[in-house]
Structure formats: C-alpha cells, structure tokens
Amino acid sequence: MFELRNVTKSYLTPNGRRYIFRNLTLAIPPGKNIGLIGRNGAGKSTLMRLLGGADVPDSGTIATDRSISWPVGLTGGFQGSMTGRDNIKFVCRVYGATGDSMREKIRYVQDFAEIGDWIDEPIKTYSSGMRSRVAFGLSMAFDFDYYLIDEVMSVGDAQFKRKCADVFQQKLKTSNIVLVSHSMPEIEKLCDVVLLVKNGGIQVFDDVSEGIKAYNS
Amino acid sequence: MLRGRTLSGVEYPVFVLVGMAPFLLYRNTALRLMDSLRENRSLFGYKQIKPLDTYVARVIVETCLAATVYAILVFGFAWFGFDMTIHSPLQWVTTLFLGLMFAFGLGMLLALITHALPSLKIVVRMAFFPLYFISGVLIPAYYLPPAMMPVLLLNPFLHILELIRAEVLPHYVPVDGVSETYVITFTVVLLFLSLGTYRARRMHLISTKNG
C-alpha cells in the first residue's frame, strides 16, 4: 500500500514556481494494480517517480511497506561508453545480486533481450530498440512487489511485444504494477484501481470504468 | 624571475610538475563535484543511489585520472634525465591524501551551496583562477610578497603545495608558517561542515524541483 500525507511538489521554471500537487493526502489500498491517468503534463509521471522514491516531495511524506522497482525500461541510467554487461552488473550490484545470482541475471537479460554477443559492445553502439529491450529485460530480471511502468509496454517488434506481454502475465501473478498510460484499453485490462490526476489533485476510483469515464468527460 | 634553470637546486619543470599535478587534481575535484548531481540525475532512478555516492565516485575517477597522467609524466621526465626521486614517499602520500580530503570537503560544500544558489557557480569557477598565483603553483612561495604572507597563509592550498614540495624535493625549504596542523584542522572542520550540510539537505538534492 501507499500512503501520501500532505504531499506538495513543485518545479522551478524560468517564470517562477509551478505547483504540481498541493497538500495531497490519500491512501492507496494494498494488492491492487494502480493505473495513473490524466492529461499530458498533469503530473502522472511525477507522481510515479514520487511513489518510486526517485524523486522527493517538497514537503510531506510518502510511506510504503513494499519493494518498488525503478521505472521499468529506464534507459537513462545506462552509461553509454560501458558495455551492456557492465551496465547490467552495475544494476545487479546496486540491488545486491552478486556472484551466481549476478551471472544468472546477466544470462536472463541476454536471452530475454535477444542481443547475443552484442552484450559486450558499448551501450552507445546499440540501436534504440536494443537499448530498450535490455532495459526492459533488466527490470524483469528482478523481483519487486510493485513495478513502475511509464508507457513503455510497446518496445521492439511484434514478436518481442508478445514476449513482454507473456513475462508480464507471469509477473502479475506475484506482483503489482503502477501503470502510467494514455491507452484506456490497457488501463482497463491491467488495473484494479485508477488514479485520475487532474488540476493538482488526485481522485481515486475503485471502479476502473468510472475513472475512465471521468477522464473522458 | 628564474635564475637559470634551477630553483634551490631543483630543475624548474620538476618543481612545477610536483606542485601543479596535485593542485589540478584538487581543483578539478572541487569544481567537478558541483556538476555531479546534474550529470548523474538519471542514476537516482535507482533509489539506492544517493548524491553522496556520486560525489565519492567523482573523487575516485578524478584521482585515478590524475594518478595515471602523473605517472606518465614522471616516467617521461625521468626518460629525459630529470631526477624524479621522491624524498619521503610515505609522508608525500599522506599529504596527497590529506589534500584530497580537503578538496572533497571543499567540493562538497561548494556543490551544496551552488545547488541552493545555482548562479554562484560562475563566481566559484572564477574564484579558482587567482588561486593559481597565490598558492604558489608556478613560483615558489618565497617569491610571494612577504608583507602579504599572513593573509596568503590562510589559504590551505598554499600549505598543501609547500608541504608536498618539501616532501618530494630534498633541499626545498617551505616558507615560514606552513603547518600540517593547520591543514588537518581546516580539513576536519570543512568535512564536518559539508557532511552536516549534506545531511540536512540530502532530500532536496534528489528532488528535481530546482531543475
């Protein structure tokens, strides 16, 4: 579960401070797949980063008792001049997977991303598709209670997409997701509770179709 | 300015190399820490990675770079017949490390200050320029005006460079007032200040609210 208490978040722009959320307090029930919907720039991705601890609010607290992934498919964290294997090792060490479990994760990512011996080439030589396949595989190699997904369900070709969907179905049996998406069918298919981010506030809908209706109106 | 090619029995290029290499390392360390947050922002997506990690990593990288460059230069100098022996190696390494700690503390404090006030970055960069002259990088400290000495000796870089030179060059005598105790005290106070400030500001550092 997540609990937000008095959360305020703002960004500094050249024209002054812009508030994304002001004094937000809400609780999200445990064991649910969470969908974040809202217009562009409403603050969905910010909320997701706040939930994941990758960003911190100006004031207030966000509490959770679950393990939360980094944003699935995060490619910005890769160091371009290092090889794919080194980048995977780096993340493994950050998450405490060393020795055999590290080797196993590297093999998993290599197989999953279908990059073969490209794994020993620097990341900057990869095509963008390869890079996101590695990033997605890396996220799937670790087990979390919540996976944070920011509109990256669509990497690679049709075959790879099917593979992603399969592994995702596996993961969903034991884990939950926080999904940011503009695709309502996807939200409807995957999520149990919808958070509509609108005008600096958040409405929680336990009924997904009702949330989508509120978003469309 | 230079009587012939030697200064107190030391060849001038050797004299400059011995002082300038550590000075550049310390300057780069102190200045690069100001950018390490921005450069590594994407790594904070992994929430185990803290700003302090990026500071430490930056110091290690700069040290490795400087050590490699220095080793190559020393080898090159020795190849051309300069005497590159180090008079008291253990003390030399200790002082180098002390200087690095000082640079780390300074860099971290500057990074924290410029994070709160980003426009100060350019001022800090410019402030490092005169340090070349008042720290005795290119000229021995005893060429600096004696009347200014009490003021100039407030600058820890001057102390560190003089100490390093005295430890490398056998006949080099540092100017009066250079003391290791001063550098150690300064470094400890600085580290305390910067780590304390870091502790107080650690949440703000990850936050993207300042762009």
The mean pLDDT values, 10 residues at a time, for chain B of 211 residues are 55 89 94 88 85 94 95 93 88 95 95 89 90 85 84 91 91 86 96 95 76 48
For residue B204, which residues of chain A lie inside 8 Å, CB to CB?
56
For residue B211, which residues of chain A lie inside 8 Å, CB to CB?
11-12
By Cβ distance, the residue of A10, A58, A77 closest to B45 is A77
CB–CB contact A70 B42 (8 Å): no
For residue A11, which residues of chain B lie inside 8 Å, CB to CB?
208-209, 211
CB–CB contact B49 A94 (8 Å): yes
The C-alpha of A125 sits at a distance from chain B's nearest C-alpha, in angstroms, of 19
| Count of alpha carbons within 13 angstroms of residue B16, beta-carbon side | 11
Instruction: Check residue A77 and give its pLDDT.
Output: 79
The C-alpha of B202 sits at a distance from chain A's nearest C-alpha, in angstroms, of 10
Token pair, residue B120, equals 């100060």
Q: In 3D, which of A50, A22, A18, A57 has the Cα closest to residue A34?
A: A50
Instruction: Check residue A154 and give its pLDDT.
Output: 63
Instruction: Check residue B71 and give its pLDDT.
Output: 95
The C-alpha of B23 sits at a distance from chain A's nearest C-alpha, in angstroms, of 28
Instruction: Check residue B208 and give its pLDDT.
Output: 66
How many residue contacts between A and B have a Cβ separation below 8 Å?
46
Q: In 3D, which of B118, B17, B146 has the Cα closest to residue B72?
A: B17
CB–CB contact B44 A95 (8 Å): no
Burial class (CB in 10 A: 0-12, 13-18, 19+), A73: buried
For residue B207, which residues of chain A lie inside 8 Å, CB to CB?
55-58
Instruction: Check residue A152 and give its pLDDT.
Output: 63
pLDDT in tens, A29-68: 888 888 888 888 788 888 888 888 888 888 888 888 888 8
Token pair, residue A148, equals 């944070």
The C-alpha of B180 sits at a distance from chain A's nearest C-alpha, in angstroms, of 38
Residues A184-188: contacts with CB under 8 Å, at least 24 apart: A184/A37, A184/A212, A184/A215, A184/A216, A186/A153, A187/A35, A187/A37, A187/A212, A188/A212
Nearest CA in chain B to A56: B207
Phi-psi region of A143 (alpha: psi -120 to 50; beta: other; left: phi over 0): beta
The ranges of chain A with pLDDT < 70 are 152-156
For residue B209, which residues of chain A lie inside 8 Å, CB to CB?
9-12, 58
By Cβ distance, the residue of B45, B203, B210 closest to A56 is B203
Bridge partners for A61 per DSSP: A5
Instruction: Check residue A153 and give its pLDDT.
Output: 62
* H-run or E-run covering A186: helix A184-190
Instruction: Check residue B2 and give its pLDDT.
Output: 46
> What CA–CA distance (Å, rounded) separates A154 from B151?
64
Instruction: Check residue B164 and give its pLDDT.
Output: 93
Cβ proximity of A188 and A182 under 8 Å:
no
Q: Taking an 8 Å Cβ-Cβ cutoff, which residues of chain A contact chain B?
A: 9-12, 52-58, 68, 70-71, 74, 76-77, 91, 94-95
For residue A71, which residues of chain B lie inside 8 Å, CB to CB?
45
Token pair, residue B188, equals 């400890």
